[in-house]
Amino acid sequence: MNRYEKAVFYGDFHAPFEDPWCVKIAEEFNQWFKPQWVFILGDIIDFTQISKFDTSPDRLCDLQADLNAGKEILERLRTSAPRAKMVLFEGNHEIRLRKYLWKHPEISSLNALTLPAMLNLPALDIKFVGSLTDYDYHGWSIEHGDIVRKWSAYTAHGMLERRGTSGCSGHTHRMGTHYMTDRGGDYVWIENGCMCSRHPHWMKSPDWQNGFTVGWFKRADLRFTLEQVCIPDGKCVYHGKEFGNLKVK
């Protein structure tokens, strides 16, 4: 048996505003890397229609189409990594659904209105983890995240300070890594980047980076190695392999 588990971390697709090249790269990378774990760090759906923010009128009646776009992304990830254990975390955009149902308690008990049911997670063999649930993987904390700071890696710093352990989160759409060493040991927090379009209809030239994280975790203890993979202009390179709008070699 291999002494290491291979994991990949994707997040913030925000369907239907996903970047199509990022989805293609995730498929190609999974097929080549063959991860044992795929972690999806939340905000798979944007849920524009039930946002507290102003919404363009031409999108108000498209929630089912947006859900279908999210399901297609999950189906493509599952097909590209058929044997991987897959986990989807609740992000702040998924929480919009929960808050909406709380305001409409007469329908909140319907099983069909849960996110796992809407996205067909049981059939795809994808585990769902709520935002208030602690998730530990090889001593490493994984979540969507609840801090936003101005610059790359500043949020990673804040998450490490708040959680007091190594981990990975999304939410900010930025990439960054923060390390810390104290008497308790060595720690690192990864700010994971995003897989959505970097040209949103509501913001000009945001400071976002497309990308994902690759992890190697030793089975016998808590040692690990992490690598961030940036996706500039719809392509990326990892260990000499090219993915995206350049043919995989």
pLDDT for 59 equals 65
Residue 54 has pLDDT above 90, yes or no: no
pLDDT for 1 equals 57
pLDDT for 77 equals 98
pLDDT for 52 equals 63
pLDDT for 221 equals 83
212: left (phi over 0), alpha (psi -120 to 50) or beta: beta
Provide the percentage of residues in the chain whose pLDDT is more than 90. Answer: 78
Rounded to an integer, the average pLDDT of 160-176 is 96
User: Mind listing the domains of the chain with CATH numbers?
Assistant: 4-244 (3.60.21.10)
Residue 73 has pLDDT above 90, yes or no: yes
Rounded to an integer, the average pLDDT of 160-185 is 95
pLDDT for 58 equals 63
How confident is residue 248, by pLDDT bands cut at 50, 70 and 90?
very low
Rounded to an integer, the average pLDDT of 29-53 is 90
Residue 147 has pLDDT above 90, yes or no: yes
Average pLDDT, the chain: 92
Among 43-57, 120-134, 196-210, which stretch is predicted with the lowest mean pLDDT?
43-57
Rounded to an integer, the average pLDDT of 98-117 is 91
How confident is residue 247, by pLDDT bands cut at 50, 70 and 90?
very low
How confident is residue 249, by pLDDT bands cut at 50, 70 and 90?
very low
How confident is residue 101, by pLDDT bands cut at 50, 70 and 90?
confident
| CB of 171 closer than 8 Å to CB of 12 | yes
